[in-house]
Structure 1
């Protein structure tokens, strides 16, 4: 229980801090990777691995990102959602009309997985 409160508190701190936020609608769409599956983003609600996760869209020195309320990572077989782990920023390639979303690997090696925006979304 304490871990959940800590994770939500950290997310709220990041979400409410002075960092610039972007409209959540810029990330709207479906992003897919052949190894792992599809992530759907729509107005602050992410649907992934049969789960729904809230998120915000922000901007920092490294560029635009999606910050979910739970840890969302990727493995060679699937997208992993864990509410007991620290949420990580999912990087977007463009702040106006993103074409890719990048997730970090869920394993210790921390690989990166690119998800391409599905045409028409």
Structure 2
């Protein structure tokens, strides 16, 4: 078996409205509702959202808001990303800083979503 790519992942969140508002405003994701379930679409991927205590089966053994650590790749220069995030009042936890991703060296910025999930925006060098 050979895995080709990631299709989606699931985040358990305290508030779907707060989460969709943040990701659409800050990252430009598209919030999509289908059959009572919400997701955030970007590129060829999506993040499915489960509201805590209203999750769908099957699910993770211990679904908890704030337990995610996600890295997103951008083509923008780190300075552009930093300016964008700061202009929206997003607190930067770390960066720009050099890291090593799946394809090599990159420059990353770290911040948190409303649930405390750690988000990384990176650009490959």
What's the TM-score, normalizing by structure 1?
Answer: 0.35
- The structure with the largest alpha-carbon Rg is 2
What's the TM-score, normalizing by structure 2?
Answer: 0.34
